[in-house]
Amino acid sequence: MGERVIFVIFGASGDLTKRKLVPAIFSLTCEGFLPPEDIAIVGFARTDLDNDSFRRELFKGVENYSRISTAQCRLWPNISERIVYHRGDYGDIKAYEELKNLLNSIEEKLDIPGGRYIFYLATPPDLYSTVIEHLGSSGLTRKMGSFPRIVIEKPFGYNLKSAIELNNILHKYFREEQIYRIDHYLGKDTVQDLLVFRFGNAIFEPVWNRNYVDNIQMTVAESEGIGTRAGYYEKAGVLKDMFQNHLLQLLTLVTMEPPIDFSEKSIRDEKVKILRAIRSIEPSQSYNYTVRGQYAGYREERGVSPHSNTATFGVLKLYIDNWRWQGVPFYLRSGKRMKEKMTYIAVRFKDVPHIMFPYKFRDQISSNILYLWIQPNEGIRLQFNVKRPGMEMNISPVIMDFTYSDVFEYKVLPDAYERLILDIINGDPTLFTRNDEIELAWRFIDPIVEGWEGKESPPLAFYEGGSLGPKESDDFILRDGRNWL
Ligand code: NDP
């Protein structure tokens, strides 16, 4: 005992709680990382539910979405009996006073030390400040060691101004080390492996710079459209939905300098240096540095304006102005309704300085490319040239392939939320975004958003669902004499 916590979810009747949070807690419990007696869960929402109906709803989510099946692991009843539903209005101070009493009674009943609360904000983002202010004014944020902790879901603000406002409200009641801003990409094993790959191997780091790298491409593609999230997506679009957070976070991990140790401060300090070094793109430059697309049929989606100019696809070329990366272009690409759901990073190395083979072999020599596959088919692939067997001299590119599922026993890698929830409970903020990271990311993205909304925006390019984006995306990179890898 001693590590026990009460996990309080605001917006507990929603999709995230049912599909991600509680299934992740279930899997953690089943694998022995989180004994059921170490956690109690309180769901806060307006929907008319009682403890039993709430638990039933959550069980459906566990059955459908948990990595570990309920047939394999029989611990659900042990978790379920520690789940309580608290019905209340987010803007009603009385509901928080009742919550406080409820938490006190749970502490007493389940022998949990006082004040060890984790407040998880899984409501629509416009409610975050209301909930934080009410937590503060009801006295629920009184500090007890490193508790309470507060978890904020994406999106963190809609622009720099709103992100600063939200940070200010948070800092009224919480110290930075109590705040966990989620970017669930950072919870993926393959994303954490970027650090091990780069800093746990000697052979890659010497070539990981402008002397050897021609360009780096990052793709986050989704096969699905916006589903039922038109309200959110119409306001966000691809830049705010994918670039400001996931893509820039991936970029920092791929490009940062080696941290001096594995502490959260060292790692996050290095990430911040990269965010500070990204060359800004002024609104008037968006035509030269970006592509903006929308999938055919987006305007007919439920909840979308028939004249919507929201981009569901984007390409962004950027530079990092530091010693290591000066002059190397980074091409970031993301979209919805693309060919398949996939996230990967491709590092294309410079060509050999001199081709010693006869002229006719010139075209047979390909660039070395390193593929870091984040999902699916998680793994690392390296392309290099070999001689084809036979009497004649012929050269072919081949791929050396490491795939997680072939080498390790996992069939399905742990869900990002499992790792993140465990880190929150253990008080390790390394995989969460610090306030300065968030603000620097918005500082970079805001002018591009402004550019896309202004007269000098690149025209909206339409693309068919199931494709790799509009033709303009290929033309864009071709203008630099390159192609998508
Ligand atoms: P939901 O739309 O399912 O909302 C969660 C709950 O918020 C609802 O059940 C509802 O509960 C409450 N709520 C309060 N006001 C409103 C309102 N005006 N409209 C809709 N619901 C309201 O959201 P998700 O669970 O999908 O997401 C929660 C948060 O997590 C959001 O900020 C989202 O951006 C973020 N997120 C979600 C992901 C996901 O996979 N679902 C992934 C990444 C981030 P009640 O009415 O009972 O109070």
pLDDT by residue for the chain (485 residues), tens only, comes to 447 999 999 999 999 999 999 999 999 999 999 999 999 999 999 999 999 999 999 999 999 999 999 999 999 999 999 999 999 999 999 999 999 999 999 999 999 999 999 999 999 999 999 999 999 999 999 988 899 999 999 999 999 999 999 999 999 999 999 999 999 999 999 999 999 999 999 999 999 999 999 999 999 999 999 998 899 999 999 999 999 999 999 999 999 999 999 999 999 999 999 999 999 999 999 999 999 999 999 999 999 999 999 999 999 999 999 999 999 999 999 999 999 999 999 999 999 999 888 888 888 999 999 999 999 989 999 999 999 999 988 999 999 999 998 998 777 889 999 999 999 999 999 999 999 999 999 999 999 999 999 988 999 999 999 999 999 999 999 999 999 99
Contact 384, 397 (CB under 8 A): yes
- DSSP character for 57? H
pTM of the model: 0.94
- DSSP character for 183? -
- Stated as kind and residue range, the H or E segment containing 246 is none
**Spatial separation of the C-alpha atoms in residues 66 and 76, rounded to whole Å:** 11
The closest residue, in CA terms, to atom 28 on ligand 1 is 122
Q: Is 198 in the pocket of ligand 1 (CB under 6 A)?
A: no
Q: Is 12 in the pocket of ligand 1 (CB under 6 A)?
A: no
Q: Is 50 in the pocket of ligand 1 (CB under 6 A)?
A: no
- Mutate-to-test residue for ligand 1 from 9, 10, 15, highest number of ligand atoms within 8 A of CB: 15
Contact 361, 387 (CB under 8 A): no
The closest residue, in CA terms, to atom 29 on ligand 1 is 122
Contacts of 180 (CB under 8 A, 6+ apart): 149, 150, 151, 152, 420, 423, 424, 429, 432
- Domains plus CATH for the chain? 5-153 (3.40.50.720), 186-413+434-478 (3.30.360.10)
Q: Return the structure tokens found at 479.
A: 């203008």
Report the separation in Å between the CA atom of 123 and the middle of ligand 1, taken as the mean of its atom positions: 4
Q: Is 245 in the pocket of ligand 1 (CB under 6 A)?
A: no
Q: Is 192 in the pocket of ligand 1 (CB under 6 A)?
A: no
Which residue blocks in 378-479 are alpha helix, DSSP H?
Answer: 404-407, 416-426, 435-453, 471-478
Report the separation in Å between the CA atom of 204 and the middle of ligand 1, taken as the mean of its atom positions: 42
**Spatial separation of the C-alpha atoms in residues 264 and 422, rounded to whole Å:** 15
- Mutate-to-test residue for ligand 1 from 10, 16, 54, 127, highest number of ligand atoms within 8 A of CB: 16
Beta strand 395-403 with 290-295 is unpaired
Contacts of 211 (CB under 8 A, 6+ apart): 350
Contact 103, 87 (CB under 8 A): no
Q: Is 122 in the pocket of ligand 1 (CB under 6 A)?
A: yes
Point out the residues that are catalytic: 246
